[in-house]
Amino acid sequence: MKAARATQVGLARITTGVFAVMASSVALASLEPQRWQLNMTPGVTRTAENAYQMHMMMLWICVVIGVIVFGAMAYAMVKFRKSKGAKPDVDFTHSTKLEIIWTVVPIIILVVMAVPATIKVIEQYDTKGHEMTVKVTGYQWMWRYEIVGEDVNFISRLDRESDRIRQSGERPTAESSPHYLREVDRVLVLPTDTKIRFVVTADDVIHAWWVPALGWKQDAIPGVINEAWTQIREPGTYRGVCAELCGKDHGFMPIVVKAVPRGEYDAWLAAQKAGDLVEAARIAASTPATAKAVGEG
Ligand SMILES: [Cu+2]
């Protein structure tokens, strides 16, 4: 009795813990990675939402298949065990009917998954109707951003404070330096609700431009121009990193995208063009009026 109760209490604790983790990952659907975050970020763009939906669909299909397969296996092992007097059917060789079923059913499942996945991938690469273009160039170890046709072109690299800490041997904590190695000196400011085309390349070795909240990652390859697009829904600060091992300082070339409403973007663009870096930095650092508390960890 006692042992049974202890098991019950233990199970209850585990269940509570699992639900707590699930609840926290739902409640903290912010875009910075969370401790114990088990799921991918839903993101702030259509591409991110598509990826998230496909991921959830595939996950649940796998869960159902797993439950059926392992359930049948466990049932057979328990129900037909030797100690219960089960005897193997020595004459049985195969069942054509069963073999057809377990070939056709997976094919149907794969087609059911492939159709929406293909539609979403095609959409992800369709840059038609874009309203502006940003050229991204990867270097060892920084990024260059060019707002094409606007005469705005600048280098964005690891912020001085992160660089100082990393070279000083200090041990930063989440409290003392919340954005250690994830902050840049010059932020890429982009307008929300605008279809933005990206052309991504590199000037030395292969890098990859990746901001999880936007829902895609694009290789930056010397001599090759890759395309991508985004349309950010929520104003906020979205952080990313170089996602292709590109040399000794690969870990020190973060990406920061600040999405702001059109008016603020226009002001930033004007300040950039006028060479007023103080004003541009002020806009990049300000909290957009409509910003939600997302993207900040
Ligand atoms: Cu890189």
Within-domain flag for 92:
no
Residue 144 Cα to ligand 1 middle (Å): 12
Question: Are 189 and 260 spatial neighbours (Cβ–Cβ below 8 Å)?
Answer: yes
Residue 241 Cα to ligand 1 middle (Å): 8
The pLDDT tens digits of the residues spanning 195-214 come to: 999 999 999 999 999 999 99
Within-domain flag for 148:
yes
Which CATH number does the domain housing residue 208 bear? 2.60.40.420
Question: Are 58 and 67 spatial neighbours (Cβ–Cβ below 8 Å)?
Answer: no
Q: Give residue 163's identity as a one-letter amino acid code.
A: D
- What domain range is 203 assigned to? 132-285
Within-domain flag for 59:
no
Within-domain flag for 264:
yes
Within-domain flag for 126:
no
Residue 205 Cα to ligand 1 middle (Å): 8
The pLDDT profile of the chain, 297 residues, written as one tens digit per residue, is 444 444 444 444 444 444 444 434 333 334 777 788 888 888 899 999 999 999 999 999 999 999 999 999 999 999 999 898 888 888 888 999 999 999 999 999 999 999 999 999 999 999 999 999 999 999 999 999 999 999 899 999 998 888 888 888 888 888 888 888 888 999 999 999 999 999 999 999 999 999 999 999 999 999 999 999 999 999 999 999 999 999 999 999 999 999 999 999 999 999 999 888 888 888 888 765 444 444 433
Alpha-carbon span 249 to 172, nearest angstrom: 18
Overall domain count for the chain:
1
- Three-state DSSP state, 296: coil
Residue 154 Cα to ligand 1 middle (Å): 17
Within-domain flag for 207:
yes
Residue 126 Cα to ligand 1 middle (Å): 26
Q: Give residue 4's identity as a one-letter amino acid code.
A: A
Within-domain flag for 14:
no
Within-domain flag for 272:
yes
